[in-house]
Structure 1
């Protein structure tokens, strides 16, 4: 309650000043005027306190200034209306002076807050920790994108709600991706469905988890009583609990739960204090408020110093705002409206607040978003951003080495057109660098959000699409298609090449209009199937059983090899 009381008191400074001046001028009816002014103060204070209790107005300079103007205007008007007697007409000039001052203050303050906000956009942009990179590192062969869509995960959890005691009291809360014990999970608390359910229940029963990478996984309900939640009321509401502890901080988005190594849930909320006389965030000074849902204890950390089990101390809402500032205001506000030099617009294909959470090979979570041109009818991506979900560090992959790649909307449309009779649609597109080729990895979902396939789409070629039932199957098929395509003369990384020697056992030559001629062969005492494109090594067309060969190839775990160069004894040397 301290924060709400402080905010309310600060909102009455101007009214108290005006009322004091008017009372001092009311010589003939000072006592009556004082009583009326006091009555108005108490009434407005109660109303203002209730409003602040509902909206949780942060204590910032713009908020306090605007609140003072509104309350002073309403209070002064009521005071004038309730004291308009014969003898009060003598101080009409005092009221007129107060009204004129309020008008001038409003004319200055309201546009001033707007103008200061515009002038501070450069400061917010500069506060972003950012790095510009030309090309993403290749996708690790063991990296598995999130396969279960949030819609599918939520649907499965909803169907399992019957395991929750007093099911009629609850519904699912906000879904959050988190890595727990090296497994990527969706986590969602059960929340009260209404005020009356809160009064009846008092505590929620726990939370659900489900694998975010295994489409066959079933949700698991974990019993863990929570008194302080997003759906609780009064001082048991998490946002109000955080506000009471840190009323001068602005909260970003809705608090989400994250689970520690012991299975205990905690509510996490991103906080920031504004820059100067505005409400614009300082991206270099972000905090995470961590709430114990049992006791209501709140602790504040710098986002990068939050407890290790917290993956998303920077909320998806804050990441989305960071993308907005980074893309639009690179050269200031005017440029974002007119010249638009270097302006980039974040696409809205993400799964959480227009961003998609993904994990790298080190287990760190990032928010992915691709950037498009502000020009209409242009579906090519300028690049994409990866925002570290703990530090807020933004890395922009500018795509300068890969001009003309399609954006995430274009990738989704390709999938949508592939299965029109089934109404399958693309979801959660993420851009990877696979063997030197920018590639969209898209989940294919049915109308119920059920996962059906992976789509691997070459970002620079809308006709180059490979589908697979699993991440590994789709990845390997895509890589094989890359090496078979004559346009991909260097589709693999040299650092992964292995030298192989042996005698050819069997040879198969295939020819298609799209890939040209492709040679596949196996060696004696070696079950690996090697593939090479005739566009790279034309003499490989004359390869036959019994030939002794030496070649460089990338050997895959699935028993295939992609040959880059080959020497055939008696033919090439």
Structure 2
């Protein structure tokens, strides 16, 4: 409440000054004073209510606009009431001067704030903790490079809402990806459906969790009553709770819950203070507010010093803003409009505010977004960003070494065109480097948000698509098809090669669209070895009984991709 009162008082400075001048210069000053005080009380109450509803942060631009609005309303009301006592309905010179001053200040201040905001874009860009990498690190065979799409997870949880006590009071809140006990899950609180439900219920019942990596997993409801939530009203609203303690900070996005090691939920919200005389964010000094939803106790810390159980101390909304500033304002505002040198536009294919949360092999959460050219009708990706969800560090992976790869919109369109009769659509596209090949991994969902398949799409070839029912199955099928495609120079990336010697037991030559592929078995070895004829033309003549020495990337699915082969009597 202190923040609301302080904000309201600061919004009256200009009105105080102008009203005082008018009172001094007015003949009937006592009457004018009473009128000015009555108007102040009325506007103060109205301003307090407006601040209570809108939660206006105490920043210089906000206070300038609030001062101008309050002063204009106050002076007009003051004139309207005092003019009733005048014989002529002509505005006295004092009021004309006051209104002229307000208009003049508005003409100066509002464009001035806009211009300052433009000049501050460079400072905001520089405040981003960023680095550029030439190429993404390839996934290894133990990685599972996908998660369940949030649309599918939400659909499954919605169908389980009946387990919530007094379920008619509630609806599902915002889904948040988090790692709990080593498992990556979606967490979603139950929220009130409206004011009267809040009035009757007073507190919510708990939250749901559901696996973010297993499409067959079922949601689990955890009972944990919460009094302070996003859907609560008055002082029980989370945003208002945070604003009351930190009115000079700007909140980014909607607060979300994260669960600690004891299963207790906490609301988490990213905050920032603006740069200079603007509302532009300073990315170097972002904070996170952690709120106890039972007691409303609130702690404010740097985003990288948040409690260990919090995976996303940086909100997805702030990550989206970072991508926007990083991509568009690399050389300033004018360049973003004219010339557009090095400008990159973030695609909006993400699952949360245009970004997609993912976890790396170390269990750290990042926000993924691919970048496209500002030129229209160009659907190739310039690269992609990963933003660390705990530190805010932005890493841009440049795709200069992989020119001509499609962007996320193109990948989704390929999936959408594959099943037009069923109206299945692509969701949550993520770009990975699989065995040295940039690859889009896409969830395929039906119109009801139910998961149907995975799609692996070679980013440089729109015709190279593999669909599958499970993550591992689709990944291995895609890798096998890569190995069989003669157009691939290498299908092993940075994987270690094993030396193998043996005698050929079976051999098979197949013809692909771009050439021929040889597959063979060795005696006493169940591994299916594959090699492109382009790498070893003499392998086309492999026969049972041939003795071979080879180097291959042997995978745990019983296949081996051969990089080099020596055939006794042919290559020796």
- Shorter-chain TM-score category? over 0.9
Larger deviation: 330-339 or 225-234?
Answer: 330-339
The match for 1:57 is: 56
Contact 2:170–2:193 (Cα < 8 Å) also in 1: yes
- Give the Å deviation of 1:87: 9.4
1:214-229 map, 5 Å? 214-229=214-229
Q: Does 1:129 align with 2:135?
A: no
Q: Does 1:80 align with 2:92?
A: no
- Give the Å deviation of 1:491: 2.1
Runs of 4+ in 1 over 3 A off after TM superposition: 85-91
> 1: CA distance between counterparts of 2:450 and 2:258?
25
Secondary structure of the corresponding residue to residue 282 of structure 2: strand
The match for 1:370 is: 370
- Give the Å deviation of 1:259: 0.6
The match for 1:520 is: 519
1:284-433 map, 5 Å? 284-433=284-433
Contact 1:288–1:306 (Cα < 8 Å) also in 2: yes
> 1: CA distance between counterparts of 2:311 and 2:21?
55
Query: May I ask how many residue pairs the two structures share in their alignment?
Result: 571
> 1: CA distance between counterparts of 2:215 and 2:349?
21
The match for 2:543 is: 544
Q: Deviations over 1:233-281 (max 9, x none)?
A: 0100000000001000000000000111111000001100000000000
> 2: CA distance between counterparts of 1:106 and 1:280?
20
Secondary structure of the corresponding residue to residue 496 of structure 1: coil
Secondary structure of the corresponding residue to residue 274 of structure 1: coil
The match for 1:530 is: 529
Q: Deviations over 1:44-100 (max 9, x none)?
A: 000000000000000000000110011011101111111123499999222222111
Q: Deviations over 1:521-562 (max 9, x none)?
A: 111221111111111111111212122211110011111110
> 2: CA distance between counterparts of 1:322 and 1:444?
28
Contact 1:145–1:213 (Cα < 8 Å) also in 2: no
- Give the Å deviation of 1:196: 0.8
- Give the Å deviation of 1:494: 5.0
Superposed CA RMSD: 1.4
Q: Deviations over 1:117-144 (max 9, x none)?
A: 1111111111111111111000132222
Contact 1:379–1:406 (Cα < 8 Å) also in 2: yes
1:65-144 map, 5 Å? 65-84=64-83, 85-86=85-86, 92-144=92-144
The match for 1:235 is: 235
Larger deviation: 226-235 or 131-140?
Answer: 131-140
- Give the Å deviation of 1:378: 0.9
The match for 1:192 is: 192
Contact 2:227–2:236 (Cα < 8 Å) also in 1: yes
> 1: CA distance between counterparts of 2:418 and 2:229?
43
1:459-498 map, 5 Å? 459-493=459-493, 495-498=495-498
The match for 1:456 is: 456
Larger deviation: 54-63 or 407-416?
Answer: 407-416
Tell me the TM-score normalized by structure 1. 0.98
Contact 1:25–1:91 (Cα < 8 Å) also in 2: no
Q: Does 1:38 align with 2:44?
A: no
Secondary structure of the corresponding residue to residue 38 of structure 1: helix
Secondary structure of the corresponding residue to residue 117 of structure 2: helix
The match for 2:281 is: 281
> 2: CA distance between counterparts of 1:413 and 1:87?
73
> 1: CA distance between counterparts of 2:117 and 2:241?
28
1:154-169 map, 5 Å? 154-169=154-169
Q: Deviations over 1:403-449 (max 9, x none)?
A: 11101111111111111222111111100011111111111111111
Q: Deviations over 1:182-208 (max 9, x none)?
A: 111111100011111111111000001
The match for 1:499 is: 499
Contact 2:466–2:478 (Cα < 8 Å) also in 1: yes
1:203-282 map, 5 Å? 203-282=203-282
Contact 2:504–2:523 (Cα < 8 Å) also in 1: yes
The match for 2:559 is: 560
> 1: CA distance between counterparts of 2:242 and 2:270?
10
Runs of 5+ consecutive residues of structure 2 not aligned to the other structure: none
Contact 2:140–2:495 (Cα < 8 Å) also in 1: no
Runs of 5+ consecutive residues of structure 1 not aligned to the other structure: none
Secondary structure of the corresponding residue to residue 50 of structure 1: helix
Tell me the TM-score normalized by structure 2. 0.98
- Cα distance change on mapping 1:482 and 1:90 into 2, 3 Å: closer
> 1: CA distance between counterparts of 2:508 and 2:338?
60
